[in-house]
Structure 1
Amino acid sequence: MNLWAPLDPKNIQDPFPMYAVLRQKAPIYKSQTGEWIISRYADVKEILKDPDFKSGNKLEWINRGITYFKNKGEDLSHIAVAINSFLLLINPPEHTRIRKFINSVWDNKEVDQLILENIDTLLNTKKRFKTIDIVDDFAKPLPNMTICKIMGISISHYERLSVLSNNLVKVLNLYNSFKDLVRIDAAAQSLISLFKELLETKKNNPGNDLISKLITGNDGEPEPLSDEALISIFIFLFIAGQETTIGLISTGLLHLSQHPDQLKELIRKPELAPRAVDELLRYDGPVHLLGRIAARDTQFDGQHIREGDAVTLCLASANRDDQYFENPDLLDISRHPNRHIAFGSGIHFCLGDWLAKRQGTLAIGKFIEIYPKYHIPDQTPQWNDNLSIRTIRHLSCSI
């Protein structure tokens, strides 16, 4: 019996029964595609924090694919250039250097005000409507508008950038077809061109935005990063929080509507919003799967994982582990403590977790404040065909 079927439509719609079976019957499971599937909280967290499990081989896989298709007359090299400095795909010492560099110039001052202004802009335009699409009208544009302001990108570009980033982020899917790679490469080429132009503009006329700070900070580094590496960092920072924040807001509002007792409690006690967001992240966070590569032979629960083996970590399964969380299938916005691993753990812990959580907290809080009686008629929405980062395609809502 195949216990791992991430592309099965029923598991895309609801993967939690599959996760539960894995935790119970085969928590360290060798899949038909060759990778190990890790589903228990303790095992997932141990591997996330173990330096002998390296970040996944996506860059290596992409480079092999580029070489293969180049021999067939297809140039997909823009993908590798675009993602070459993505923190979630690289390992120390390069990972340590780039993460330290970004943290040295990126602060969270005045971010709340930016987010609230964007929320007001989006919701005020919908006040005369009876229905909205939570994904298209609210959850999707909000993180894009916010990161545009933080990075110093003209807000007029955000719709085009949103489409491009949505296409490029598909490179993180578990499996990609040739047609997928062609679309991803086209998006990568456009993003490289756009951010190269921004790099040159801000070199000559720096401001107080994140791109300018990265350029200025890089000039002061003992060994400055190349322009190509800087552009990859810009792309990473722009897209890193897009899909996750979209998923947090839209999935969060869906689950609150499915649990009216919890929604009423949050409306009654808005100060619970930060705890509510942590619980929504635990209950059904947007990042379900992460990849790692074993750098050594190791034993887990009687299974021998060999050096070079691919390992898929089921974060969403770990966050429903009844060995760690009481009543894990129950949504409880007052849950405390709540040591979920929705943003990972260890050195690859999500760089922008604070920004995603602030946007989620402010967006969900403001939405239910303005629309306390919102209603989502379709409680079984269509999900995007990607279990790694699980998001809803559309979510119509009566307000």
Structure 2
Amino acid sequence: MSAAVRFNPLGAAFRADPYPQYRQLRETRPVHKTLGMWVVTRHEDVQRVLRDRTFSAGLIPQLVTKQAERVSGLDVARIERLGRKSLVFTDNPDHARLRGLVNRVFTAQAVATLRPLVEKVTGELLDHVVVAGRTDAIAELAAPLPVTVLSEWLALPDELREHVGRWTHDIRFLLEPGLMRGDDFARVCEVVEKFVAALDEVLAERRARPGDDLVSRLLAARTGSGDRLADEELIFVCVMCFVAGNETTKSLVGNGLLALLRHPDQLALLRRQPELVPAAVQEMLRYDCPLQLTKRLATQDVELGDAVIHAGDQVLLCLGAANRDPEVFDRPDEFDVTRSAKGHLAFGHGMHGCLGGLLAEVQAEVAFEQLLRRTDAIALYTGEVEYQDHSFIVRGLRGLPISVGAR
């Protein structure tokens, strides 16, 4: 009798292609306990947990505190507050209050007005890509795009912009505290203090001279009762815009481009019918989503599938597995830019659905629209690609060497 399949994110095969393991788990052990947590892989079960508010989103800040105590003697009060005050990790009533204020700024209309900015930034980046003819699409397009767009939206001073990409990369370690060592905490604490101090100066300047940028809009946001974001809360919102939006948008563009290059029939179809680009971006999110895993903490006993999850248990939700569930998506392992990918969970679901999802979609749509319009050929110039190994929850490429032919 063969051994039961267990979730194992540590192997090289899983990093290169986790979907065969996801499929086996969905079919044989859709809810099982391993590595001290419940692993959930079916779309129905993942969506249920995301929707169920008895599952707390506040697990990561707790794990940050515990890991810091275990491996570091540092004062981590600031990063603990960053976690506890981040929309991603708050439960009600804190979440409802913060979301109510931030939603007044992160509207569909506000994101739509950013499209010309995204087009400008993308065009400038592609100028270099097209002229070079051969480039790394991650380093030259996917990585700088979200950092530049966010820096422009926040109207950050030039001297700050040169640091935010590196700072964001360091701070995102907080999303996976189990991987952090003592020196990691030291570096993250230092970076968070620098980021907060720099944004505090930006805040003072916008308070004196408000504009139409994101910081000014957050400063002006008020509820009907007059509630507003405290200064540190506002700064944390800005920091988390970079932390949550940078790596995921980069990976959306990179993973999506790789999917097109590995499916030349779909790339050719998009060239013939560029109006399919928005649907293609949704399919990219479903087919190979940037955020593969997210965690919750059970606050009461719950039956899920054939399992009983007890209060205090950790639950790992496999978004990547849910997005390949044949009960929801026909031919789930096929990349098809004409399909309706409605129902994918790449941006989560429920009250913790990704605040920046619309902006990520706009950036990906513009990137692919311009790539298709400005080139007559795109190809990989290497047989193999490597996936980053600094994160288990984010699936993204180290690099994507491509050659392009300009129109």
Q: Name the TM-score class by shorter chain.
A: over 0.9
Gaps in structure 1 of 5+ consecutive residues: none
On the 8 A contact 2:43/2:323 being kept in 1, the answer is: yes
Q: In structure 2, give the amino acid aligned to 1:150.
A: W
- Partner Cα separation in structure 2 for residue 354 and residue 17 of structure 1: 30
On the 8 A contact 1:258/1:379 being kept in 2, the answer is: no
- Partner Cα separation in structure 2 for residue 337 and residue 118 of structure 1: 28
- Partner Cα separation in structure 2 for residue 355 and residue 23 of structure 1: 31
On the 8 A contact 2:219/2:229 being kept in 1, the answer is: no
Q: Which residue of 2 aligns with 1:160?
A: 163
Number of matched pairs = 396
How has the CA–CA distance of structure 1 residues 388 and 42 changed in structure 2, closer, same or farther, with 3 Å as cutoff? Answer: same
Q: Which residue of 2 aligns with 1:131?
A: 134
- Partner Cα separation in structure 1 for residue 44 and residue 78 of structure 2: 38
- Partner Cα separation in structure 2 for residue 165 and residue 193 of structure 1: 15
Q: In structure 2, give the amino acid aligned to 1:115.
A: V
On the 8 A contact 2:282/2:341 being kept in 1, the answer is: no
SS at match of 2:179: coil
Deviation of 1:286 (Å): 0.2
TM-score by length of 2: 0.92
Does residue 333 of the first structure (1) align with residue 337 of the second (2)? yes
Does residue 256 of the first structure (1) align with residue 260 of the second (2)? yes
The percentage of aligned residue pairs carrying the same residue is: 31
- Partner Cα separation in structure 1 for residue 383 and residue 186 of structure 2: 34
Q: Which residue of 2 aligns with 1:94?
A: 94
Q: Which residue of 1 aligns with 2:363?
A: 359
Deviation of 1:231 (Å): 1.3
Q: Which residue of 2 aligns with 1:204?
A: 208
SS at match of 1:104: coil
Q: In structure 2, give the amino acid aligned to 1:170.
A: F
SS at match of 1:375: strand
How has the CA–CA distance of structure 1 residues 158 and 132 changed in structure 2, closer, same or farther, with 3 Å as cutoff? Answer: farther
How has the CA–CA distance of structure 1 residues 38 and 180 changed in structure 2, closer, same or farther, with 3 Å as cutoff? Answer: same
| Greater mean alpha carbon deviation, residues 215-224 or residues 245-254 | 215-224
1:189 to 182, 193, 196: 193
On the 8 A contact 1:82/1:192 being kept in 2, the answer is: no
User: Please, what is the CA RMSD of the aligned residues?
Assistant: 1.9
| Greater mean alpha carbon deviation, residues 181-190 or residues 109-118 | 181-190
Deviation of 1:395 (Å): 1.2
Q: Deviations over 1:250-303 (max 9, x none)?
A: 110011000000000001100000000000110001010011111110112221
Does residue 390 of the first structure (1) align with residue 395 of the second (2)? yes
On the 8 A contact 1:376/1:397 being kept in 2, the answer is: yes
| Greater mean alpha carbon deviation, residues 272-281 or residues 60-69 | 60-69
Deviation of 1:8 (Å): 1.6
Does residue 300 of the first structure (1) align with residue 291 of the second (2)? no
On the 8 A contact 2:324/2:333 being kept in 1, the answer is: yes
Q: In structure 1, give the amino acid aligned to 2:258.
A: L
SS at match of 2:363: helix
- Partner Cα separation in structure 2 for residue 237 and residue 265 of structure 1: 34
Q: Which residue of 1 aligns with 2:39?
A: 37
Deviation of 1:356 (Å): 0.4
Matches within 5 A, 1:1-399: 1=3, 3-31=6-34, 33-68=35-70, 72=73, 74-106=74-106, 107-155=110-158, 157-173=160-176, 175-178=178-181, 179-217=183-221, 222-336=226-340, 338-385=342-389, 386-399=391-404
On the 8 A contact 1:84/1:232 being kept in 2, the answer is: no
TM-score by length of 1: 0.94
